[in-house]
DNA sequence: TATTGTTATACTCTATAACTATA
DNA sequence: TATAGTTATAGAGTATAACAATA
């Protein structure tokens, strides 16, 4: 047992680590909802951001960084290429590997994505004052660095599909009324 | 240590929401590693904790709270019952539903789980002073409450298997003081 | 008829590994 | 021979829906 005072409220909500996992999953799910309006998944948003920072990376590199096997990266990149967001260029020096680049359309979408991210940031931190918000960011950044997390990527990118939303008890949200009757017998 | 703080660095790491998702996934993965030594998955640990707080709940209730369909909860509970951690008792009032209870063995394991959680808490917050640690916990608790998250559960419990660990930059491992022993099995 | 628990089935997602083309 | 990219396939995990018992 820990020597910290774990009575009362702190025990019921769990420690910082639990709250981190809980809020982190929540944040990821809400972000996925937000970018779904751009028809993007978290993994897709992640690779766009990676390519914006370092263009010309090979599929192998990106797959490795995102934590997905190369075999899964191929159809993943295919979709982005079909949508005209990224572009495969042959590397003259080594014709085995592609160099991936953002298209102009990809850059445009990336900026829209930035707006979504900003709105998401505000919504997540509604409960905090601007001062606390910055305080929190600083604490988290320090923790992430100490834990050896590389900036810009997180394990959720492994998943192709965004997290399903879990709503145990929703205080304020329009229910997506899913018709209990499928509308026909089948 | 010399932490050269540069404005670019904070922006490169993303905002608080991104760090939350990143650290949250990391915390969940590390916690899963920790309880794997007790042969428990996060979802199993979650239901044990729920039963400790409110014994006698029905499978339906628990499945709903954990975010898994009842059909999946059945084999999930089966395993815990086979291991002697929980117990199904018939409800005399309504014979349709079971009342789930922790066994003595379940209570014992739960306390071992508490120790793992405490160690996990400390490891996650290594970078913080005790004061900052408490500060962070308070901020997160406030955010979780405002976001309508119910205490004690998080969406990660939906998954049966724990998150795979994502190590984008394993080769160097710059300042990770992590023993390669724990959780070596991926 | 509605609800709890259960079982069955079909479907999706995934990793592994074979295959090609370049080096 | 080794590596980047690709394709094929078998396996795991999942939700949906049908079912039996009880209310």
- Measured to protein CB atoms, the chain D nucleotides within 7 Å are 3-8, 12-18, 21-23
| A15 contact residues in B (CB cutoff 8 A) | 117-118, 121, 137
Q: CB B173 to CB A146 under 8 A?
A: no
B74 interfacial to chain A (CB closer than 8 Å): no
Among chain A residues 74-103, those with CB within 7 Å of any atom of strand D: 74-75, 77, 88, 96-98
Q: Is residue A173 part of a domain?
A: no
Q: How many CB atoms lie within 10 A of CB A69?
A: 10
Residues for chain B: how many in total? 186
Does residue B186 sit in helix, strand or coil? coil
What percent of chain B clears pLDDT 90, i.e. is strictly above it?
72
Which pLDDT value is given to residue A157?
76
Number of folded domains in chain A? 1
Q: Is the pLDDT of residue B182 over 70?
A: no
Tens-place pLDDT, residues A12-56: 678 999 999 999 999 999 999 999 999 999 999 999 999 999 999
Tens-place pLDDT, residues B103-158: 999 999 999 999 999 999 999 999 999 999 999 999 999 999 999 998 777 777 77
Cα separation, B23 vs A55, whole angstroms: 26
Q: Are A85 and A64 in contact (CB under 8 A)?
A: no
Q: How many CB atoms lie within 10 A of CB A180?
A: 5
Structure tokens at B74: 């059945």
Q: Is residue B180 part of a domain?
A: no
Residue in the block written with tokens 């991936």: A100
Query: Which of the nucleotides lies closest to B92 (Cα–C1')?
Result: D22
The top-scoring range by mean pLDDT among A100-109, A159-168, B25-34 is: A100-109
Q: Does A137 contact strand D, using a CB cutoff of 7 Å?
A: no
Q: Does A164 contact strand C, using a CB cutoff of 7 Å?
A: no
| B139 contact residues in A (CB cutoff 8 A) | 128, 132, 135-136
Alpha carbon separation from B141 to A40, A61, A132, B136, B184 (Å, rounded)? 30, 38, 13, 8, 33
Which pLDDT value is given to residue A12?
66
CA B142 to chain CA mean position, Å? 19
pTM over 0.85: no
Structure tokens at B13: 């790491």
Chain B from 83 to 112: CB within 8 A of any A CB: 111
B5 interfacial to chain A (CB closer than 8 Å): no
Which range marks the domain in which residue B128 is found? Answer: 18-162
Residue A21: partners with Cβ closer than 8 Å, 6 or more residues away: B24, B25, B27, B28, B31, B154, B156
Residue A25: partners with Cβ closer than 8 Å, 6 or more residues away: A163, B21, B24, B25, B28, B154, B155, B156
Q: Does B74 contact strand C, using a CB cutoff of 7 Å?
A: yes
Q: Is residue B22 part of a domain?
A: yes
Which pLDDT value is given to residue B76?
96
Q: Is residue A167 part of a domain?
A: no
Q: Is the pLDDT of residue B1 over 60?
A: no
- Measured to protein CB atoms, the chain C nucleotides within 7 Å are 3-8, 12-18, 21-23
Q: Is residue A5 part of a domain?
A: no
Q: Is residue A170 part of a domain?
A: no
Q: pLDDT band for position B34 (50/70/90)?
A: very high
Q: Give the CATH number for residue A22.
A: 1.10.10.10
Q: pLDDT band for position A3 (50/70/90)?
A: very low
Q: Is residue A35 part of a domain?
A: yes
Strands B86-90 and A98-102: unpaired
Chain A from 134 to 163: CB within 8 A of any B CB: 135-158, 163
Q: Is residue B178 part of a domain?
A: no
What percent of chain A clears pLDDT 90, i.e. is strictly above it?
73
- For residue B46, which of B122, B160, B142 has the smallest C-alpha distance? B160
| A136 contact residues in B (CB cutoff 8 A) | 16, 136, 139
Cα separation, B18 vs B22, whole angstroms: 6
């Amino acid at each position: 047992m820990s020597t910290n005072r774990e009575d009362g409220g702190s025990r019921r909500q769990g420690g910082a680590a639990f709250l981190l996992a809980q809020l982190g999953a929540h944040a990821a799910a809400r972000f996925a909802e937000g970018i779904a309006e751009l028809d993007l998944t978290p993994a897709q948003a992640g690779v766009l951001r990676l390519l914006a920072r370092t263009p010309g990376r090979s599929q192998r590199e990106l797959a490795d960084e995102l934590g997905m096997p190369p075999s899964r990266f191929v159809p993943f990149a295919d979709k982005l290429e079909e949508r005209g967001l990224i572009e495969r260029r042959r590397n003259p020096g080594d014709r085995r590997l592609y160099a991936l680049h953002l298209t102009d359309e990809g850059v445009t979408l990336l900026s829209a994505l930035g707006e979504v991210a900003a709105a998401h940031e505000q919504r997540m931190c509604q409960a905090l004052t601007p001062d606390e918000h910055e305080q929190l960011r600083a604490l988290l950044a320090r923790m992430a660095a100490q834990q050896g997390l590389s900036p810009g990527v997180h394990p959720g990118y492994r998943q192709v599909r965004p997290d399903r939303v879990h709503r145990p008890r929703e205080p304020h949200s329009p229910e997506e009324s899913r018709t209990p009757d499928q509308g026909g017998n089948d």
